[in-house]
Amino acid sequence: MASADFEVAIIGAGPGGITAAHHLLRSGLTNFVILDRAGDFGGSWRDNVYPGLAVDIPTLFYQFPFARKADWSRLFPEGAEIQRYNQQVATDLNLYKYFRGNCTVEREVWDDEDQVWVLDIAGDEPVRARFVINAVGGYINAKSTDTIAGTDEFGGTILRPNAWDAGYSCAGKRVAVIGTGSSSVQIVAAVVDAAEQVDVYQRTPSWILPKPDFAFSPRAQRILAIPGVAAAINGSVLAIMELPLQLICNVLPLLPRKLLAAVLPQYDKIWRGLYRILLRSKVSNDADRKAMVPRYGILAKRPVLSSSFFSALESDSASLVANPIERITADGIRTADGVERPYDLIVLATGYELFTDPETYQAGKTLGPNGFDLADEYRSNGLRSYGGSAHPGLPNRWSLVAPQGFVGAAWHTFVDLTARHAVRVITEAGRRKATVAQVRTEAFGRWVRKMNRHGKVISTYTVDCNPGLRTYFVNSQGEALYYRPQTISGALWFSRFSPIDDYSFTAHN
């Protein structure tokens, strides 16, 4: 039997990869490698350097639970500070010795004879690993621009949030920003004062809510540095979230779907009325206010936090364009009403391929035993996972970000739960001297049925009550597979104490 190069290969060096490596080290496993297509740790925070970039989750919760930081500059730090934190945690854990950057994994193929994963690396020799932890994040690649005609005809500059030219200056430029998600809202507010003109092309209005940001005083930083304080704050918030999650996941699913479909929209009517009041206080143009009211529910798409976007839009140099884009021209953008506007820069903030979309998974890229192809499986039988990470067709492999995986907490808490589960099973395989650990088909089926039952409210709200909506939470097949319909306490229990017999463990013959 050919030996593996490594016991474990981690694919991705963002927060998930760092977390998986931490749990491997904590379990005494040191024969692993971290592979990433870029040259450093950080994931999205490494790749995104656009103006105005900042986290939209309070930093008290948006950090590694095993490496809390007390001296944050503010409640919602800028992207550069988050990236320095990622690099510091990787340094403190001595992870650079395990890191192989500029290493793109093109295929994952199970070698059934040797019972290892063979990872095909672009321009390099394959990597063989007994176990694989796929720590690629939820936002895989920027969406294709093929849906906007004429992109390749534009004579000016085109930038994307995750491929920003840090040397490009918007001073005195005519700028078009396509999209009204988090990235575009941050960019508009950051460049509006310097640019000659900024036009915001709104395709689908977003719920844009005030961002309660403030700087931390030295005294606040000293208090957060007291052992246990930051963990207690985080734990208190998670405990507060338990009640609504219990209601959503365990109580309301007992009601008939028709009743839920009739009652849930009433919640959104209240929020829509409040949002109109907010817009009246922030936006002076009547047509803009009317165009900016979302027709979908406030929880059907991720709300955007910003306390500066509305004031930026009120600037004499900014405009909202709600007419659909007909095409990009050599000089600018032409909308469906025939108006063409000239630009020097077009920002394509049009979103990302997500882990919940079947199109994200390409045929021939993840191949298990007996001809199993993850892309074919997802297209034929739907996107599902066990515990938000495992699939019975893929032995010795876990994805930290998988369909029906995200638990209602900040990203670091979520990937900590899935990484903890994966490392627990890997450790158990070592204890049993097993070469293969695979979730049992019957356990997988039970889990999927359980998630479908408990996800009834989420599905009814996002799909039935918001028909035709396409968001992070509803994929291209009209399925709500972003959230894992489980309480935080339930997910925490599962990561530590799930039935280990849900897996089969076998040794090489």
Q: Name residues whose C-beta falls within 8 Å of residue 312's C-beta, 6 or more positions apart in sequence.
A: 188, 189, 192, 198, 318
Please name the residue ranges forming H helices in 67-217: 79-92, 182-191
CB count within 10 Å of CB 232 equals 11
Whole-angstrom distance, CA of residue 418 vs CA of residue 74? 29
Please report the DSSP string for 357-381 in residue order.
Answer: -GGGSPTTSEE-GGG-BHHHHHHHH
Task: Indicate whether this model's pTM tops 0.85.
Answer: yes
The per-residue pLDDT for 146 is 64
328 φ/ψ angles, rounded to the nearest 5 degrees = -90, 135
| Displacement of CA 192 from its chain's centroid (Å) | 27
> 234: Cβ–Cβ under 8 A, 6 or more apart, which residues?
60, 61, 65
What CA–CA distance (Å, rounded) separates 100 from 107? 16
Helix, strand and coil content of the chain, in percent to the nearest 5, comes to 40, 20, 45
Closest CA to 206 of 187, 224, 183: 183
Q: Are 22 and 66 within 8 A, CB to CB?
A: yes
Torsion of CA 359, 377, 400, 458, to 10 degrees: 70
Beta-carbon contacts of 357 under 8 Å, excluding residues fewer than 6 positions away, are 475, 476
User: Residues near 359 by Cβ (< 8 Å), separated by ≥ 6?
Assistant: 353, 476
Q: How far, in Å, CA of 420 to CA of 65, rounded?
A: 12
337: its two tokens? 């009403």
Q: Are 141 and 355 in contact (CB under 8 A)?
A: no
Give strand pairing partners of 158: 346
pLDDT at 74: 97
Q: Give residue for tokens 């040794």.
A: 507
- Among 383, 393, 386, 372, smallest CA distance to 425 is for 386
Report the run of H or E that residue 257 belongs to, with start and end.
Answer: helix 257-282
**Which whole-number Å values give the CA distances from 228 to 60, 65, 235, in the listed order?**
12, 11, 10
pLDDT at 324: 94
> First vs last Cα of the chain: how many Å apart?
10
Written as tens digits, the pLDDT of the chain (509 aa) is 457 899 999 999 999 999 999 999 999 999 999 999 999 999 999 999 999 999 999 999 999 999 999 999 999 999 999 999 999 999 999 999 999 999 999 999 999 999 999 999 999 999 999 999 999 988 777 776 667 899 999 999 999 998 999 999 999 999 999 999 999 999 999 999 999 999 999 989 999 999 999 999 999 999 999 999 999 999 999 899 999 999 999 999 999 999 999 999 999 999 999 999 999 999 999 999 999 999 999 999 889 999 999 999 999 999 999 999 999 999 999 999 999 999 999 999 988 888 888 888 999 999 999 999 999 999 999 999 999 999 999 999 999 999 999 987 789 999 999 999 999 999 999 999 999 999 999 999 999 999 999 999 999 999 999 988 877 788 888 889 999 999 999 999 999 999 999 999 999 76
